């Protein structure tokens, strides 16, 4: 099945960055990136979910944090690594409002205003040649070189999982 072009795919094509997109049935009964990885037969450690995290201070830049689908975000470890007092997960409504994308389809490469976020990726990605992320729409995943994702997103490595 051919994927329709998402904003993330258009960005990669405009920059000449190779990727492969895979469409899957997002209406299937699953609720996590780890389950999506299983459907796609991708190692869960190579499938990254994109999470929106909020700082305690009003009007502070929100964070985008990419973590492996088989791990949980550790808010305390992340706050400590970033020198923040307290962080919290955005609600589904907040995440969708901030990114303009549906939860389950948020892509760091599909943001209309990437400068509005501080972008991070878990240290576990340092050892991955290829990474799988959402293409910016539920049911479309894309694989690309991890180095290309870091370069295009401006993500910084951080200890975000336990």
pLDDT score, position 27: 64
pTM, 2 dp: 0.90
- Identify the residue with better confidence: 133 or 25: 133
Q: CA-CA distances (angstroms) from residue 162 to 56, 73, 74, 150? A: 22, 7, 6, 21
pLDDT at residue 38 above 90?
A: no
| Residues of the chain above pLDDT 70, percent | 92
Residues 98 and 59: their CA atoms lie apart, in Å, by 12
159 within 8 A of 78, measured Cβ to Cβ = yes
- As a whole-number percent, the residues of the chain with pLDDT over 90 amount to 70
| pLDDT the model gives residue 116 | 94
CA distances from 82 to 55, 65, 86, 97, 118 (A): 11, 12, 10, 24, 11
Domains (range + CATH), the chain: 7-158 (3.90.960.10)
DSSP secondary structure letters along the chain: -PPPPPHHHHHHHHHT--EEEEE--TTSS--SHHHHHHHHT--GGGBEEEEEEEESSTTPPPEEEEEETTS-B-HHHHHHHHT-S-EEEPPHHHHHHHHSS-TTS--GGG-S-GGGSEEEEEGGGGG-SEEEEEEEETTEEEEEEHHHHHHHHT-EEE--B-
Q: Is the pLDDT of residue 162 over 90?
A: no
């Amino acid at each position: 099945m051919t994927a329709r072009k998402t904003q993330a795919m258009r960005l990669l094509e405009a920059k000449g960055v190779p990727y492969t997109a895979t469409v899957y049935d997002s209406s299937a009964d699953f609720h996590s990136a780890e389950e999506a990885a299983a459907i796609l037969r991708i190692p869960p450690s190579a499938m990254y979910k994109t999470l929106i995290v909020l700082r305690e201070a009003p009007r502070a830049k929100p964070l985008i944090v990419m973590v492996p689908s088989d791990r949980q975000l550790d808010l305390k470890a992340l706050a400590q690594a970033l020198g923040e007092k307290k962080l919290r997960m955005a609600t589904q409504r907040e995440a969708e409002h901030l990114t303009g994308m549906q939860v389950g389809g948020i892509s760091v490469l599909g943001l209309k205003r990437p400068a509005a976020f501080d972008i991070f990726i878990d240290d576990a990605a340092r050892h991955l040649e290829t990474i799988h992320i959402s293409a910016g729409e539920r049911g479309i995943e894309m694989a690309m070189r991890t180095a290309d994702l870091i370069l295009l997103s401006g993500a910084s490595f951080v200890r975000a999982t336990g």
